[in-house]
Amino acid sequence: INASEIVYTAAVLEFEAYRDWTDGGSEAIYKRNIHSFEFYATQAKLMGADIIVFPEYGLQGLDHNTRNDSVFQALTVPVPAPSARVAPCDFDNEDVFDPMQKLSCVARRLEMYLVVDLAEKAQALDQDGAVTAVYYNTQAVFDRNGFVVARYRKRHLYEEPNFEPSPDADDAALFTTDFGVAFSLQICFDIVFGEPSYANVQKNLTRDIITSTAWIDRAPFNMAPNVQNGFSRSLGVNLLIANYHWPELGKLGSGVYHGYSDLSHAYTYDEHSGNVLVVSPVRTVLSEPPQRFPHSVLSKPKILKYRRSGDAVRVHKIQDSYEKIMKSSDVLSRSPPHAQQRNQASVCFRDLCCSLSYYYFSSNELMYRLVAYNGYYPAGNRLLYVQVCGVLWCESTDINTCAILEPKPSTPSDFFGPFTLSGNFSSDVTFPSAMMRNFSLIPNKIYGFEEKQNGYSEIKFNVGTFNLAMAYIEGRKYSADIP
């Protein structure tokens, strides 16, 4: 670590919020969740955490779209503008329960940064100049004295009809901590767009990104750990990402990703974990001289699972979207591969050509496909422009069995590679991913990733890998999206 770098301690909480309205209304929901936040923040503080990130919808529960208007309203709160320099902890009113006041006092008592996502109630002027209420899906950041130092409103909503998209500029997502590190905020679906955080990485040179999310896993190309790792690795940024825990809705997977330094991530992806706290040292670059040096306690990451009795029977549901995306594919077993020599395959979709050179030493029948896709992909109420080159493992020659992540116990293990997967992309940016059939990410050090000039990107495995589920490069062409 050199003079322009520093190590701080980050915590992220994967959390299933309390959301039962019938047992005390909004106040009970706030109190229970803030009580939990305080408990986990205290655990993180004991491990030296400087900052803790809570998931999207973590304060009020993930029910905004089904709650009726009066319940929704009761679960929204005003958030002071950072420019007002307000610490709600200073305004204790014993008659009215104020969640912002409680959170601010937690930050002050623990002397740590808190990043909370909530439903914000704000005011705007309508066409006639009258004041009306507007609602945002907002991350509020409290500093160590309980002051609101950032307020970022979600830019890219994912079917959230109660909320308006942020009218603020990209720098509303930025804040700098007393330890001299600048962060950029983003919320869930924002991670697949070019702003605010991708733009802040380019313009502001931000190297530490904070994300509150309630992600929905889709196989094979949008599983949470793959998206998170790809973002952190491709952009070379640390990613502190806290997901909502609700495996039955495909919401799972959080972590501290060290894209700026060693690429060795501390992440969790376990439907039986219950609430789970990831605490990790993070090496990064200073954006200004620190006023206060972090006091490191941990030398390596810790993952603490707070299992409850029901967690043993949770079921992880993943939506399949590959039939929409695998428009073009090459079945690698069509001609038997030569075990002793390099095999080649290629497949094109419009002007994207993907190629694979690979070795296959196993005696099993080869059950992998090379796939290419280049075009629109529906997500929420948008059409995203994506380009994908991927290798997918399939349980049989039936394309519908590709990238099934929980194969039958009788399925033999196999070993694929070394291999190189590449494509001539025309995207703004490409993201690499590789996962095993048991849902673990393949460690970044196992494979190289390179984005060359002229759009060519490649993933290169110099050694083969056991039980590969998928390895792919996904490109995004932000300007071609249809809103």
Interaction site with ligand NAG (CB under 6 A): 21, 68, 70-71, 171, 174-176, 182, 204-205, 287, 351, 353, 424, 426, 436, 438-440, 455
Closer by beta carbon to ligand NAG, 418 or else 455 = 455
Nearest distance, CB of residue 300 and ligand NAG, angstroms: 17
Residue 356 CB, shortest distance to ligand NAG, in Å, is 15
Of residues 37 and 72, the one with the C-beta less far from ligand NAG: 72
Closer to ligand NAG by Cβ: residue 364 or 397: 364
CB closer to ligand NAG out of 125 and 133: 133
Residue showing tokens 């005003």: 78
Nearest approach, Cβ of residue 39 and ligand NAG (Å): 27
Asked if residue 412 has a cis previous peptide bond (ω within 30° of 0), the answer is no
Closest CB 218 distance from ligand NAG, rounded Å: 20
Nearer to ligand NAG, 162 or 426 (CB): 426
Collect all residues with Cβ–Cβ distance below 8 Å to 294 and sequence separation of at least 6: 6, 7, 8, 9, 48, 50, 179
Closer of 329 and 422 to ligand NAG (Cβ): 422
Our CB check for ligand NAG shows the closer of 175 and 179 to be 175
Nearer to ligand NAG (CB atom), residue 361 or residue 456: 456
Q: Between 420 and 424, name the residue whose CB sits nearer to ligand NAG.
A: 424
Minimum Å gap between C-beta 33 and ligand NAG is 18
Nearer CB in complex with ligand NAG: 43/229: 229
What minimum distance in Å lies between the beta carbon of 331 and ligand NAG? 21
Tokens of 453: 């000039």
Question: Whole-number minimum distance, CB 422 to ligand NAG, in Å?
Answer: 11
Min dist CB 203 to ligand NAG, Å, is: 7
Taking the complex as a whole, the smallest distance from the CB of residue 46 to ligand NAG amounts, in Å, to: 27
SS (H, E, C) the chain: CCCCEEEEEEEEEEECCCCCCCCCHHHHHHHHHHHHHHHHHHHHHHCCCCEEECCCCCCCCCCCCCCCHHHHHHCCECCCCHHHCCCHHHCCCCCCCCHHHHHHHHHHHHCCEEEEEEEEEEEEECCCCCEEEEEEEEEEEECCCCCEEEEEECCCCCCCCCCCCCCCCHHHHEEECCCCCEEEEEEHHHHHCCCCHHHHHHHCCCCEEEEEECCCCEECCECHHHHHHHHHHHHCCEEEEEEECEHHHCECCEEEEECCCCCCCEEECCCCCCEEEEEEEEEEECCCCCCCCCCCCCCCCEEEEECCHHHHHCCCCCEECHHHHCCEEEECCCCCCCCCCCEEEEEEECCEEEEEEECCCCCCCCCEEEEEEEEEEEECCEEEEEEEEEEEEECCCCHHHECCCCCCCCCCCCEECCEEEEEECCCCEEEEEEEECCCCECCHHHEEEEECHHHEEEEEECCCEECEEEEEEEEECHHHCEC
* Residue placing its CB nearer to ligand NAG in the complex, 68 or 93: 68
Give the burial string for 135-159 (b: 16+ CB within 10 Å, else e): bbbbbbbbbbebbbbbbbbbbbbbe
Least distance (Å) from ligand NAG to the CB of residue 30?
A: 16
Residue 150 CB, shortest distance to ligand NAG, in Å, is 9
